Amino acid sequence: MRRKIYGIFVAGGSGTRMGGDTPKQFLPLDGRPILQCSIERFLEAVPDMKVITVLPRSAFQTWKDLCAAYSFNCPQTLVAGGLTRFHSVQNALKKVPDGAVVCIHDGVRPLVTPALISRMLARMERGDCRALVPVLPVTDTLRSRDPGQPDPDRTAVVAVQTPQIFRSEDIKAAYTQAYDLSFTDDASVAARTGIPPAFEEGERFNLKITTPEDLVLAEAILAIRKG
């Protein structure tokens, strides 16, 4: 029997690097909030996906108002973010049953394509892997801040994106661990419990919008996609 698919959209941060008073997940992109754009990409790939949206509790009403204003009638479960991203995802996973597939995605990566999502989910459904993450080769030279340390070999590392996809029982068990500063993403949490991720080729345009420049670039990319 096909596993149900859950999407956890992590948007629990304050977005201070964007400047201004509006959290970055609520800033407009292509005429609607960034977070809405991100969720819509997944619903294009999986129309019956169960959506869990992680936000600061103080932002719940703002998000409800935005959904109403933009006629975004997506059934979703709202979950309060935690002290760190780890704790935010941990909170969200409490809403996910065993026996499902979970896609964990940064709420401010609105340019991910339905094609990538579908390709990754197909691999999970075939049972090729228990954890799957999109990655890109590193093209820039990497330099150590410590002059006494050798520079990292860029051929030995990859740049990691989201969505990161797991069997729900695996990632729920992984998130019962105590928080560790070395947990930089969901795959690192799973790997600590003996579930190394498989890699899928990511997308250059799958940007995480963190700075005002990222937003300008995202608008330009969307304009190109529209022709």
pTM value is 0.95
Q: Which domain covers residue 189, as residue numbers?
A: 5-226
Residue 175 to residue 123: CA distance in whole angstroms: 23
- What's the pLDDT score for residue 128? 85
* Amino acid, single-letter form, for residue 149: Q
What's the CATH number where 15 sits? 3.90.550.10
Q: What is the pLDDT of residues 5-30, one digit of tens each?
A: 999 999 986 555 566 789 999 999 99
Residue with tokens 């080729």: 201
Residue 199 to residue 128: CA distance in whole angstroms: 11
Q: What is the pLDDT of residues 145-170, one digit of tens each?
A: 988 899 888 889 999 999 999 999 99
List of the chain residues with pLDDT < 70: 13-19
Looking at the DSSP bridge assignments, the partners of residue 32 are 29
- What's the pLDDT score for residue 59? 97
Of the CA atoms within 13 Å of residue 21, those in its CB half-sphere come to 1
Q: Are strands 131-137 and 164-167 parallel, antiparallel or unpaired?
A: antiparallel
CB 158 within 8 A of CB 199: yes
CB 36 within 8 A of CB 72: yes
- What's the pLDDT score for residue 127? 92
Q: Please name the residues in contact with 47: beta carbons below 8 A apart, sequence gap of 6 or more.
A: none
DSSP character for 59? G
Q: Are strands 5-10 and 101-106 parallel, antiparallel or unpaired?
A: parallel
Q: Which two tokens stand for residue 75?
A: 């059934």
Return the biggest CA–CA distance within the chain. 56
Domain count, the chain: 1
